């Protein structure tokens, strides 16, 4: 059996929130220096997408030189989650992705944006690491959900992250109304996200389904120079809907009165 001292760790490395847009801030303006130095020394990674992880490491290299050339760094991708009828099938065995840690090397887990394993499929790899006795350490960095909640002025003592709402209009409307009742009953802030090109559609659905006095906050392009966060009543949003950049991620939060 491998001794605990010989086992590497799974390090949850935060990514920036800008999705690599052309006007991205300098990486050391968003991520702590110690995190960048740790990322620079890692030789093994598990990622949602290898291409964007290489782009991330190029940005890291400009601040903290990589321990090896980028081409020599091992980057493995998480399997794509199953959809539809296949979603309930037996889970994929992710233990092969952690072989380097079992052999004594640290592995970095990275998301496309923000903290790995939060609103992110990487949670399954973290669960596998715990099952195998591999230590897990989350490194500090930005999370769009907590940044948006903090800036919203809504209830930060009780909140629920909902992920993506249904795309079917009828199902989405019913879901929003049910969540509004829960928010009113429990004084709980509800938080949802959407792919950037559908931000305007979700906003329209929210202002249509929510009560006029419900407080609705929108945080868009967090950490970017053109980022913003506004909290208004639904009635106010109906008079002046926001404009979204097509490629800017957004977080939607609401609290019913």
Question: What is the rounded average pLDDT of the residues 110-117?
Answer: 94
Query: Residues of the chain with pLDDT > 90: what percent?
Result: 82
Rounded distance between C-alpha atoms, residue 145 and residue 251, angstroms: 7
Q: Are residues 127 and 12 in the same domain?
A: yes
Q: Are residues 120 and 172 in the same domain?
A: no
Report how far apart, in Å, the C-alpha atoms of 236 and of each of 29, 38, 44, 212, 214 are.
34, 46, 49, 8, 10
Q: Are residues 104 and 164 in the same domain?
A: no
Report how far apart, in Å, the C-alpha atoms of 251 and of each of 123, 190, 191, 201, 207 are.
20, 11, 7, 13, 15
Residue 115 clears pLDDT 90, i.e. is over it: yes
* Cβ 165 vs Cβ 192: under 8 Å: yes
Looking at 106, 138, 170, the residue that finishes a domain is 138
Residue 106 clears pLDDT 70, i.e. is over it: yes
Range of the domain at 43: 4-138
Q: Are residues 249 and 190 in the same domain?
A: yes
Lowest mean pLDDT across 122-126, 209-213, 244-248, 253-257: 244-248
**DSSP characters over 159-203:** EEEEEEPPSSHHHHHHHHHHHHHHHHHHT-EEEEEE-GGGHHHHH
pLDDT tens for each residue of 185-228: 999 999 999 999 999 999 999 999 999 999 999 999 999 888 99
pLDDT tens for each residue of 129-162: 999 999 999 999 999 999 999 999 999 999 999 9
Specify the 3-state DSSP secondary structure of 245: coil
Q: Are residues 191 and 238 in the same domain?
A: yes
Q: Are residues 66 and 52 in the same domain?
A: yes
Residue 84 clears pLDDT 70, i.e. is over it: no
Tally of structural domains, the chain: 2
Looking at 94, 115, 138, the residue that finishes a domain is 138
Specify the 3-state DSSP secondary structure of 256: coil
What CATH code is carried by the domain that includes residue 175? 3.30.950.10
Place of tokens 């490491």: 57
* Cβ 10 vs Cβ 122: under 8 Å: no
Report how far apart, in Å, the C-alpha atoms of 124 and of each of 92, 151, 245 are.
9, 30, 32
Place of tokens 């998301």: 111
Report how far apart, in Å, the C-alpha atoms of 144 and of each of 62, 90, 175, 220, 221 are.
24, 31, 23, 9, 9
Question: What is the rounded average pLDDT of the residues 175-184?
Answer: 97
pLDDT tens for each residue of 89-98: 557 899 999 9
* Cβ 15 vs Cβ 110: under 8 Å: yes
Q: Compute the residue count for the chain.
A: 257
Average pLDDT, the chain: 92
Report how far apart, in Å, the C-alpha atoms of 178 and of each of 156, 183, 224, 254, 255 are.
20, 9, 33, 13, 13
Residue 85 clears pLDDT 50, i.e. is over it: no
Q: Are residues 66 and 164 in the same domain?
A: no
DSSP 114: B
Q: What is the pairing mode between strands 107-110 and 9-13?
A: parallel
């Amino acid at each position: 059996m491998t001794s605990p001292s010989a086992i590497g760790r799974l390090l949850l490395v935060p990514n920036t929130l800008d999705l690599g847009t052309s006007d991205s801030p300098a990486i050391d303006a968003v991520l702590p220096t110690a995190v960048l130095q740790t990322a620079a020394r890692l030789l093994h990674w598990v990622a949602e997408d290898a291409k964007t992880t290489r782009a991330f490491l190029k940005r890291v290299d400009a601040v903290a030189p990589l321990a090896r050339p980028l081409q020599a760094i091992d980057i493995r991708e998480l399997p794509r989650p199953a959809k539809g009828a296949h979603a309930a099938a037996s889970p994929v065995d992710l233990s092969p992705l952690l072989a380097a840690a079992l052999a004594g090397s640290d592995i970095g887990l990275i998301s496309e944006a923000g903290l790995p394993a939060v609103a992110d499929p990487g949670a399954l790899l973290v669960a596998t690491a715990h099952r195998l006795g591999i230590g897990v350490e989350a490194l500090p960095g930005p999370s769009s959900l907590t940044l948006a909640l903090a800036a919203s002025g809504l209830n930060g003592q009780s909140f629920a992250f909902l992920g993506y709402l249904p795309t079917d209009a009828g199902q989405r409307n019913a879901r929003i109304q049910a969540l509004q009742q829960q928010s009113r009953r429990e004084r709980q802030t509800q938080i949802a996200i959407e792919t950037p090109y559908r931000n305007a559609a979700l906003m329209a659905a929210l202002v249509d389904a929510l009560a006029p006095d419900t407080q609705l906050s929108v945080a868009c392009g967090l950490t970017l120079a053109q980022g913003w966060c506004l909290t208004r009543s639904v009635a106010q949003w109906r008079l002046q809907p926001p404009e979204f950049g097509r490629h800017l991620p957004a977080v939607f939060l609401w609290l019913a009165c």
